[in-house]
């Protein structure tokens, strides 16, 4: 078996779409990050040019091709350490990604692993990770669509298949270079840091790095992100993950000059159990305020808890045309809005406090969100983790299969909230003669363009016109402490 190193970084570029050129730029940035004998850096790139095959790279391992050399000289199509393949691969197939990670673990063993999946983010809660792969039909298998993407369930399947394939190779957990979980999973896509994604992956990943909102097409600043590891391969996974957040926020700070807002966070999935329990307590408590079935004339203006819920939802930080809300911000607004002296109001406040404590209370190892940093006004109330909270669309059947829905009552809460908050039809004389299902809500299927995900904004119902630097962002540019503009004390709302 090859020598075990400190780190192996594996980056999967799903570029068979409009991100192809940006991903090639990312590969060049990865190369410029430098080299360290204790760090393996490998990549797979699926371009969108017809006739151009999927490509694999082992970067900066040869003295004759240093970091300032040509990227093409690091191309490895058939070399010991990777099984050969020909043609184009389907980045929407979880087995393809599992095979790539498996080769990295088998032939480039390390004490720590970081896997990065780079591409477009989810088009909706059921489908759209690494969308859209324009692969040709697989010969003899017309069931595979020509345009493919990963569902959230398939995202988890990557790691289920990975473990099964490693076991077939005789690589059991505990052997050198074989771990029960991936140390860091970075998802270089839009709309990733949600409770749904985190809980789905919690059995397979320790730390998840990604944004709640939209990412620019350029994606991560790989040179800055990886340079810290090349300088110091002794970084712990926690230090490396927090460093990614810092470098991302620092890099995109100047982009406020173009009106660009960004957010990035690292979530500790080892704390998934208390988060699940806190969400369940919140859901159970809120369900007490929402009758089933709802009253005939909805919404019930005399239902104080429902009114507080609607106002908190309205005010809270939103994402993806208001289908998701920042979980901490939503609970914070709900706690402020639900000020009644009755027992239910007190229970709602207590449940909200419980969620907030799990997300950001205690030390870095105890809290679920280890660090969140934002820049710009659009996502300034981001706190690291969002949750599905739509205004009109009920939870789908696919959503009901997710771990969050199976282990909590959140999907039941969504459906009952939508039913209770939906305004009743205006009185009339007759129902129109429409075919069955005509009045069913439809989903937005717009293709992504300017962002690594759907292009509709939806940050908040009425977002602030101004913004101030968060403590996390301020400290990036004032590492010795110091004071914020005009001698005033620096912001203190974030750790």
Per-residue confidence at 455, pLDDT binned at 50, 70, 90? Answer: very low
The reported pLDDT for the residue numbered 410 is: 97
Q: pTM of the prediction?
A: 0.87
Q: CA-to-CA distance for 118 and 46, rounded, in angstroms?
A: 11
Write the CA distances from 451 to 44, 189, 251, 303, 386, integer angstroms: 21, 9, 17, 39, 18
Polymer length in residues for the chain: 495
The reported pLDDT for the residue numbered 101 is: 94
pLDDT in tens, 359-380: 999 888 899 999 999 999 999 9
* 212-235 mean pLDDT: 95
pLDDT in tens, 115-151: 999 998 875 555 567 765 555 444 445 554 456 778 8
The reported pLDDT for the residue numbered 444 is: 39
Per-residue confidence at 393, pLDDT binned at 50, 70, 90? Answer: confident
* 407-418 mean pLDDT: 95
Give 485's DSSP letter. G
C-beta of residue 134 within 8 angstroms of C-beta of residue 48: yes
Nearest CA among 65, 67, 99 for reference residue 83 = 99
- Structural domains of the chain sorted by starting position, each given as residue range(s) with its CATH number in brackets: 5-137+147-235 (3.40.50.11970), 273-425+453-477 (no CATH)
Question: Which residue reads 């004032």 in tokens?
Answer: 478
* Maximum mean pLDDT: which of 23-27, 170-174, 219-223, 451-455: 219-223
Q: CA-to-CA distance for 287 and 280, rounded, in angstroms?
A: 11
The reported pLDDT for the residue numbered 473 is: 85
The reported pLDDT for the residue numbered 443 is: 45
pLDDT in tens, 284-339: 999 999 999 999 888 899 999 999 999 999 999 999 888 899 999 999 999 999 99
The mean-pLDDT minimum among 74-83, 224-233, 353-362 falls in 74-83
Higher pLDDT, 16 or 408: 408
Per-residue confidence at 15, pLDDT binned at 50, 70, 90? Answer: confident
Q: CA-to-CA distance for 370 and 237, rounded, in angstroms?
A: 12
Rounded to 5 degrees, φ, ψ at 86 are -130, 150
**Cα end-to-end span (Å), the chain:** 43
Nearest CA among 451, 447, 434 for reference residue 378 = 451
**Bridge partners, 375 (sequence order):** 262
Rounded to 5 degrees, φ, ψ at 480 are -90, 10
C-beta of residue 419 within 8 angstroms of C-beta of residue 306: no
Q: CA-to-CA distance for 382 and 400, rounded, in angstroms?
A: 26
């Amino acid at each position: 078996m090859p020598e075990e190193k400190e780190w192996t970084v594996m980056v999967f570029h799903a570029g068979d779409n409009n991100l192809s050129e940006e991903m090639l730029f990312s590969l060049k940035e990865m190369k410029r990050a430098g080299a360290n004998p204790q760090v393996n850096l490998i990549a797979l790139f699926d371009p969108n040019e017809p006739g151009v095959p999927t490509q694999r790279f082992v970067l900066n391992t040869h003295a004759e091709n240093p970091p300032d050399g040509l990227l093409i000289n690091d191309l490895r199509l058939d070399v010991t350490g990777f099984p050969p393949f020909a043609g184009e691969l389907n980045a929407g197939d979880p087995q393809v990604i599992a095979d790539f990670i498996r080769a990295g673990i088998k032939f480039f063993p390390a004490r720590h692993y970081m896997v990065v999946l780079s591409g477009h983010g989810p088009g909706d809660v059921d489908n759209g990770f690494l969308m859209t792969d324009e692969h040709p039909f697989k010969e003899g298998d017309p069931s595979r669509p020509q345009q493919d993407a990963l569902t959230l369930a398939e995202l988890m399947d990557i790691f289920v298949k990975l473990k099964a394939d490693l076991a077939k190779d005789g690589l059991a957990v505990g052997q050198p270079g074989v771990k029960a979980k991936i140390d860091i999973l970075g998802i270089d896509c839009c709309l990733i840091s949600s409770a749904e994604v985190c809980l789905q992956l919690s059995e397979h990943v320790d730390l998840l790095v990604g944004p709640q909102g939209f990412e620019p097409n350029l994606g991560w600043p790989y040179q800055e992100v990886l340079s810290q590891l090349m300088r110091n391969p002794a970084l712990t996974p926690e230090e490396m993950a927090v460093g990614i957040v810092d470098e991302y926020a620092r890099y995109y700070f100047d982009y406020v000059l173009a009106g660009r807002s960004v957010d990035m966070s690292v979530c500790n999935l080892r704390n998934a159990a208390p988060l699940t329990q806190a969400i369940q307590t919140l859901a159970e408590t809120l369900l007490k305020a929402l009758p089933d079935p709802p009253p005939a004339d909805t919404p019930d203006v005399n239902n104080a808890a429902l009114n507080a819920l609607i106002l908190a939802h309205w005010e809270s930080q939103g994402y993806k045309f208001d289908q998701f809300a920042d979980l901490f911000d939503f609970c914070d607004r709900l706690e402020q809005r639900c000020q009644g002296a009755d027992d239910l109001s007190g229970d709602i406040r207590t449940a909200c406090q419980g969620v907030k404590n799990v997300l950001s209370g205690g030390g870095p190892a105890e809290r679920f969100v280890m660090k969140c940093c934002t820049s710009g006004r659009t996502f300034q109330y981001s706190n690291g983790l969002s949750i599905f909270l739509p205004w009109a669309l009920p939870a789908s059947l696919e959503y009901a299969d997710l771990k969050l829905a199976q282990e909590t009552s959140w999907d039941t809460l969504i459906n009952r909230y939508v039913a209770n908050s939906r305004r009743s039809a205006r009185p009339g004389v007759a129902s129109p003669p429409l075919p069955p299902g005509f009045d069913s809500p439809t989903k937005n299927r717009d293709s992504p363009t300017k962002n690594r995900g759907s292009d509709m904004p939806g940050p908040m119902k009425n977002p602030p016109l101004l913004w101030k630097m968060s403590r996390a962002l301020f400290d990036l540019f004032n590492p010795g402490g110091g004071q914020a503009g005009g001698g005033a004390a620096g912001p203190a709302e974030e750790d």
